[in-house]
Amino acid sequence: MHELSVAISIIELAEEEASRRGARVDAIHLRLGPLAGVVKEALLSSYEIARENTALAGSRLIIEEMPIVVYCPRCQAERTLESMQEFRCPECRTPASEVLQGKELEVFALELQE
Amino acid sequence: MNPRLVELRQNVLKHNDLVARALRQRFREAGVFVVSLVSSPGSGKTTLLEKTLTLLRPDHRVAALVGDLATENDALRLRRSQAPVKQITTGTLCHLEAAMVERALEGWDLDRLDFLFIENVGNLVCPSSYDLGEDLRLVLMSVTEGEDKPLKYPTIFNTSDAAVITKVDLATAVEFDWSAASRNIQAVRPGMRAMRVSAKTGDGMNEWMEFLRSLAGAAV
């Protein structure tokens, strides 16, 4: 359970950017991959705790869940995994270990009130 | 006034990643091969590490950092190998971060080491998010935990470089299903090497040591 410290990092990052621009943060858009090791629901409730008594008290956290995308060596193409319990190409069933997307834990954008 | 959408694209764990990158650079320059160990609590990280340190020590300069929420117990056990060992107590934190490793290394001359082992806090979830600058992340699972651990915790297995199945001396007693275990590991991390070890009987230790030496030889 490290979502609270992740939530605090998100807030610090957004606060820094907002104060640099002299703006207020309305919302944070976060991209989250299943391989980031962070649970969406736990992060959302941690965010509610972490934002209290900060400049982001009234802000929202909007999480966009990213699918896992692998490279299939047989199809020579990018493929979206159906299940994180099975790293193989959904088309040809070839095992695929090269992960192209799915580890994101990234503040993608901020909605700012200037 | 309408809100404005500003693209930021910043990794939340950027600070950790930067420290980890600097560590990796230092390790490379010093020629030390760094292995981190992750697993659930009680799967045998400390026992495997104690044996590994003891076996490497005649030919290599080795040291270890060991993370736990509390107590110095694991460091005391590992010091029986005669290798330098430092305990990192994390308090309430469920994982190690790169900055803790950096702090723990203060006063150590990395140039005088061949291998450094970092034993993470026993936890199959949180450590997966934090790069520690290691060359190899080793995930352990003991036969007593069941064959489906990789399916339940795919992230830690997928982000690891190799696996060791521990306590294999108990496999028969717990009717461990080897083919299911191997199938499950390969399902979440195709191509990952999985070794079978009993640190207690010494079974499989040779294969693990060979693996370690060959990787370190190639890296350094």
Tens of pLDDT along B75-123? 999 999 899 999 999 888 889 999 999 999 999 999 999 999 999 999 9
Residues B170-204 pLDDT 10s: 999 999 999 999 999 999 999 999 999 999 999 99
Residues A29-78 pLDDT 10s: 999 999 999 999 999 999 999 999 999 999 999 999 999 999 999 999 99
Domain ranges of chain B: 14-219
Q: Which of B6, B12, B123, B151 to mutate to test the interface with A (most CBs of A within 10 A)?
A: B12
**CA-to-CA distance for B202 and A21, rounded, in angstroms?**
61
B91 shares contact with chain A (CB less than 8 Å): no
- Nearest-neighbour CA in chain B from A56: distance (Å): 14
Contact B67, B88 (CB under 8 A): yes
- Nearest-neighbour CA in chain B from A12: distance (Å): 9
Contact flag A109-B6 (C-beta cutoff 8 Å): yes
| Strands annotated E in chain B | 4-11, 33-38, 62-68, 85-89, 115-119, 136-142, 162-166, 193-196
CATH no., domain A3-67+102-113: 3.30.2320.50
Evaluate if residue A79 carries a pLDDT over 90. yes
Contacts of B99 in chain A (CB under 8 A): none
Residues B7-17 pLDDT 10s: 999 999 999 99
Query: B1 pLDDT band (50/70/90 cuts)?
Result: low
Evaluate if residue A7 carries a pLDDT over 60. yes
Q: Which CATH architecture has domain B14-219?
A: 3-Layer(aba) Sandwich (3.40)
A74: which residues sit within 8 A by CB, 6+ positions away?
A89, A92, A94
CA angle B17-B21-B24, nearest 5°? 135
B93 shares contact with chain A (CB less than 8 Å): yes
B186 shares contact with chain A (CB less than 8 Å): yes
B30: which residues sit within 8 A by CB, 6+ positions away?
B110, B111, B113
Evaluate if residue B45 carries a pLDDT over 90. yes
